[in-house]
Structure formats: C-alpha cells, structure tokens
C-alpha cells in the first residue's frame, strides 16, 4: 500500500520518524508530507487554511495515481488535526482511498471548525504552554520529549485550526476507517455518539468502523511509536 501519514498541529512529516520502520517492514510505501506553512518557523502562513492542506494531500494522491502502473491503493493516516485533512481527502477521492486511519482524532464533520479554541493570529497558532493541555494529552511524554517537541514545534496556520471541512460526497461513508484511540476508549466514543457530540457525528454513518485502543498520551508517535507503527501496518493491510 501507499500509506500517507499526515501530522497534526505544530508537527512536520519528520514527526513520524520512529513509526515508519514498522510500515516499511510490512512492505508498505510510506509518504510523510509536511503540510504547507509548517516547513519552518519563518514560513508564511497568512493565506493557508484547511482547504490548502486538503488540496496538498489530494495532489499527492493524484500524483501517486499517475505514477503507479499497478494502481496500488492509498491508505491515509491523520493524527489529531490531521484527521480533518484526511477525512476531507476521502470525501474528494472516495474511490482512490482504501482506508482512513485516525490517530487520536476522528472524521471531522462538515463545517465544524477543527480547533477554534487555540490562541493565535494570522501569523499562526503557536504550541500552547504545557499547562493548557489535559494531563491525559501529555501522558507518557518524558521531560526530554517535551523539550524536543517544544524546540521543533512550528505554528499551525490560523485557518487550519479555525476552518471547517467542506464535505459533499456521501461515498466517503463507503471508505473503511480505523480510529486509534490513545486518550479515549471505544466506550467513550460510543458515549459521545449517544450524547450527540458533533465531533463524532460522522462515525455512525460510516459503514465499516474499527476502533483500536492504544492507551498513552495524545502523541503516540513519540511515546509508543513501535506499537503505533505495527497497528498502522496491520490496519493498512486490511
């Protein structure tokens, strides 16, 4: 499979570095794009929103389609805010995507902003102080990992955090998904659906849903990368 790993806020494609080996060992071809505006601290983020990130990954899917003579299927993986990106790509290319995997994220519903609670401006949304995160988010991160994360974090474009997806093709519900819950459980997902939580509103409409629990913090690519890699490899091969 062609597996495209889409990072969440503040992260580059390099953040998947310790996850990739398990996917390669399983025979997958791995792509780790850095979303526009997150290439460096000095990048111009003023005109970049969720739509630009979605189009970037759509272009990658289309490029793979053109270059791949055997038409290998594409598996999309989105961590955190990257979940809104990959769900939108599945909406735009439902016939090209074999599976979408959400890492501590989910299929962002139409029009629902990704994370408007984050402070920032047109120059970007910087990584907040650790005190603003829940204890569950920071679970298993060592002091050294927190320091490296802070040193390498790049502001996310304002639009990427405040825009909502624009979904138009109900064939997205035919694309199988896997949710890898690292700070929430299967039961908590079901409770959120029953309570009408907007974030999970798309899940009951998707025809094939798998939930895998990997208890750790919000950044399993740092805290449990080998286990995450094996889960992604197995789910990509379904």
**Could you give all domains of the chain from N- to C-terminal order, each with its CATH number?**
2-236 (3.40.50.1820)
Q: Categorize the per-residue pLDDT at 189 as very low, low, confident or very high, splitting at 50, 70 and 90.
A: very high
Tell me the pLDDT tens digit for each residue of 138-157. Answer: 999 999 999 999 999 999 99
| Partner residues linked to 209 by β-bridges | 177
| Angle at CA of residue 43, ends 40 and 44, nearest 5° | 165
**What is the SS3 assignment for 77?**
strand
Q: Nearest to residue 35, comparing CAs of 104, 88, 85, 94?
A: 85
Cβ-proximal residues to 102 (8 Å cutoff; 6+ apart), any chain: 77, 78, 83, 86, 87, 177, 178, 179, 180
Residues of the chain with pLDDT > 70, as a percent, come to 98
Question: Sorting pLDDT into bands at 50, 70 and 90, what band is 71?
Answer: low
Span 116-134, pLDDT tens digits:
999 999 999 999 999 999 9
pLDDT averaged over the chain?
A: 96
């Amino acid at each position: 499979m062609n597996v495209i790993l889409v990072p969440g806020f503040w992260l580059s494609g390099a953040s998947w570095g310790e996850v990739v080996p398990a996917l390669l060992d399983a025979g997958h071809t791995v792509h780790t794009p850095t979303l526009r505006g997150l290439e460096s601290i000095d990048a111009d983020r003023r005109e970049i929103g969720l739509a630009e990130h979605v189009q970037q990954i759509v272009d990658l899917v289309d490029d793979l389609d053109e270059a791949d003579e055997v038409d290998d299927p594409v598996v999309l993986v989105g961590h955190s805010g990257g979940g809104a990106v990959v769900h939108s790509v599945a909406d735009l290319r439902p016939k090209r995507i074999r599976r979408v995997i959400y890492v501590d994220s989910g299929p962002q519903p139409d029009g629902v902003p990704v994370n408007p609670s984050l402070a920032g401006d047109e120059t970007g949304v910087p990584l907040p102080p650790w005190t603003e995160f829940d204890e569950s988010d920071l679970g298993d991160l060592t002091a050294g990992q927190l320091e490296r994360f802070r040193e390498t974090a790049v502001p996310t474009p304002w639009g990427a955090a405040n825009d909502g997806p624009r979904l138009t093709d109900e064939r997205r519900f035919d694309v199988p998904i896997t949710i890898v819950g690292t700070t929430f459980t299967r039961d908590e997902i079901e409770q959120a659906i029953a309570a009408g939580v907007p974030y999970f509103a798309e899940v009951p409409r998707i025809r094939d849903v798998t939930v895998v629990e990997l208890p750790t913090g919000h950044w399993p690519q740092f805290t449990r990368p080998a286990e995450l890699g094996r889960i992604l490899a197995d789910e990509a091969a379904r």
